[in-house]
Amino acid sequence: MGQTLFEKIWDAHLVRPAGSAEGDGAPAIIYIDLHLIHEVTSPQAFTELESRGLPVRRPDLCLATIDHSTPTLPAGADGKRPYITEAARVQVETVQENCAKHGIELHGWDSPNRGIVHVMGPELGATQPGMTIVCGDSHTSTHGAFGALAFGIGTTEVGHVLATQCLLQNKPKTLGIQVEGELAEGVTAKDVILHIIGAIGVDGGTGYVIEYFGSAIRGLDMEGRMTLCNMSIECGARAGMVAPDEKTYAWLKGRSHAPKDEAWDRAVERWRQLPTDADARFDRLVEIRAEDIEPSITWGTNPGMVIGISENIPDRHDPAATDAQSYMHLKPGQQLQGEKVDVVFIGSCTNSRISDLRAAAGVMRGRKVADGTRVLVVPGSEIIRREAEAEGLHQVFIDAGAEWRLAGCSMCLAMNGDMAQAGELVVSTSNRNFKGRQGRGARTVLASPLTAAASAVTGRVTDPRSLAGEVQ
Amino acid sequence: MTTDISSHVISCHCYCLPFDDIDTDQIIPGQFLTTTQREGLGAFCFHSWRHDESGSALDEHPLTEFDNSRHQVLVAGRNFGCGSSREHAPWALLDMGVRAVISSRFADIFFNNALKNGLLPITLDEAVVEFLHQHPHHPVKIDIQSRSIEIEGHGSFEFPLDPFAAHCIIEGIDQMDFILQQDALIRQHEERRPG
Ligand code: SF4
CB A452 within 8 A of CB A345: yes
- The alpha carbon of A349 and the centre of ligand 1 are apart by a number of angstroms equal to 6
Rounded to an integer, the average pLDDT of A77-86 is 94
pLDDT of B7 strictly over 90: no
pLDDT of A469 strictly over 70: no
- In a mutational test of the pocket of ligand 1, which residue from A409, A419, A426 has the highest number of ligand atoms less than 8 Å from its CB? A409
Q: Where are the alpha helices (DSSP H) in A69-180?
A: 86-102, 117-123, 155-164
**A414 phi-psi bin (left φ>0, alpha ψ -120 to 50, beta other):** left
Helix axes A354-364, A449-458, angle to 10 degrees: 30
Topology of the domain comprising B9-192: Aconitase; domain 4 (3.20.19)
pLDDT of B1 strictly over 50: no
Which residues in B36-113 belong to E strands, given as ranges?
71-76, 100-103
| H/E run at residue B183 | helix B183-192
pLDDT of A472 strictly over 80: no
Rounded to an integer, the average pLDDT of A112-136 is 98
- The alpha carbon of A126 and the centre of ligand 1 are apart by a number of angstroms equal to 18
Q: How far is B44 from chain A (nearest CA, A)?
A: 14
d(CA A439, CA A417): 9
Spell out the residues 6+ positions from residue A312 whose beta carbon is closer than 8 angstroms to its own: A333, A334, A335, A336
pLDDT for residue B3:
46
d(CA A357, CA A453): 10
Residue A329's Cβ-count burial label (10 Å; 0-12, 13-18, 19+) is: exposed
- Shortest CB distance from A166 goes to which of B31, B162, B186? B186
pLDDT for residue A332:
97
pLDDT of A468 strictly over 80: no
d(CA A343, CA A374): 5
Instruction: Give contacts of A202 with chain B, Cβ < 8 Å.
Output: 21, 79, 82
pLDDT for residue A186:
95
Provide the mean pLDDT of chain B: 92
DSSP SS3 for A260? coil
Identify the band that residue A443 occupies on the pLDDT scale cut at 50, 70 and 90.
very high
CB A268 within 8 A of CB A260: no
CB of B85 less than 8 A from some CB of A: yes
Say if the Cβ atoms of B85 and A422 lie within 8 Å: no
- Nearest C-alpha neighbor of B87 from the set A120, A47, A429: A47
How confident is the model over A96-122, as pLDDT tens digits? 999 999 999 999 999 999 999 999 999
| H/E run at residue A445 | strand A443-446
pLDDT of A23 strictly over 80: no
How confident is the model over A364-405, as pLDDT tens digits? 999 999 999 999 999 999 999 999 999 999 999 999 999 999
| H/E run at residue A64 | strand A62-65
- The alpha carbon of A39 and the centre of ligand 1 are apart by a number of angstroms equal to 12
Phi, psi of B146, deg, nearest 5: -95, 5
Instruction: Give contacts of A153 with chain B, Cβ < 8 Å.
Output: 85, 109, 112
- In a mutational test of the pocket of ligand 1, which residue from A65, A69, A118, A378 has the highest number of ligand atoms less than 8 Å from its CB? A118
CB A400 within 8 A of CB A457: yes
- Nearest C-alpha neighbor of B107 from the set A400, A434, A90, A413: A434
Q: Sheet of A166-169: strands edge to edge?
A: A14-16, A28-31, A166-169
Rounded to an integer, the average pLDDT of A321-332 is 96
How confident is the model over A162-216, as pLDDT tens digits? 999 999 999 999 999 999 999 999 999 999 999 999 999 999 999 999 999 999 9
- Shortest CB distance from A165 goes to which of B25, B178, B186? B186
Q: What percent of chain A stands above pLDDT 70?
A: 98
How confident is the model over A406-441, as pLDDT tens digits? 999 999 999 999 999 999 999 999 999 999 999 999
Q: What is the dihedral of CA A98, B89, A151, B106, to 10 degrees?
A: 160
Instruction: Give contacts of B78 with chain A, Cβ < 8 Å.
Output: 203
- In a mutational test of the pocket of ligand 1, which residue from A114, A139, A428 has the highest number of ligand atoms less than 8 Å from its CB? A139
Give me the amino acid identity at A157. Answer: E
- Cβ of A437: how many Cβ atoms within 10 Å? 28
Complex ipTM more than 0.95, yes or no: no
Lowest mean per-residue pLDDT among A47-61, A152-166, B169-183: B169-183
- The alpha carbon of A139 and the centre of ligand 1 are apart by a number of angstroms equal to 7
Q: Is the CB of A56 under 6 A from ligand 1?
A: no
Say if the Cβ atoms of A236 and B79 lie within 8 Å: yes
CB of B84 less than 8 A from some CB of A: yes
Q: Where are the alpha helices (DSSP H) in A13-82?
A: 43-52
Residue with CA nearest ligand 1 atom 6: A409
How confident is the model over A225-249, as pLDDT tens digits? 999 999 999 999 999 999 999 999 9
Asked whether the CA dihedral A42, A43, A47, A53 is positive or negative, the reply is positive
CB pairs under 8 A between A and B: 174
How confident is the model over A266-317, as pLDDT tens digits? 999 999 999 999 999 999 999 999 999 999 999 999 999 999 999 999 999 9
pLDDT for residue B2:
44
Residue with CA nearest ligand 1 atom 4: A349
pLDDT of A72 strictly over 50: yes
β-bridge partners, B101: B74, B121
Q: What percent of chain B stands above pLDDT 70?
A: 96
Listed by start position, the domains of chain B span 9-192
- Shortest CB distance from A29 goes to which of B86, B105, B182? B182
β-bridge partners, A148: none
Spell out the residues 6+ positions from residue A218 whose beta carbon is closer than 8 angstroms to its own: A245
CB A471 within 8 A of CB A185: yes
Q: Is the CB of A415 under 6 A from ligand 1?
A: no
Say if the Cβ atoms of B21 and A153 lie within 8 Å: no
- Nearest C-alpha neighbor of A164 from the set A258, A22, A52: A52
Asked whether the CA dihedral A93, A97, A103, A104 is positive or negative, the reply is negative
Phi, psi of B77, deg, nearest 5: -80, -160
CB of B187 less than 8 A from some CB of A: no
How confident is the model over A353-372, as pLDDT tens digits? 999 999 999 999 999 999 99
Say if the Cβ atoms of B194 and A40 lie within 8 Å: no
CB of B181 less than 8 A from some CB of A: no
Instruction: Give contacts of A157 with chain B, Cβ < 8 Å.
Output: 112, 116
Spell out the residues 6+ positions from residue A415 whose beta carbon is closer than 8 angstroms to its own: A40, A68, A69, A84, A88, A409, B30, B31, B33, B34
pLDDT for residue A21:
55
d(CA A230, CA A227): 5
Higher pLDDT, B34 or A114: A114
pLDDT for residue A22:
60
Q: Is the CB of A123 under 6 A from ligand 1?
A: no
d(CA A470, CA B63): 51
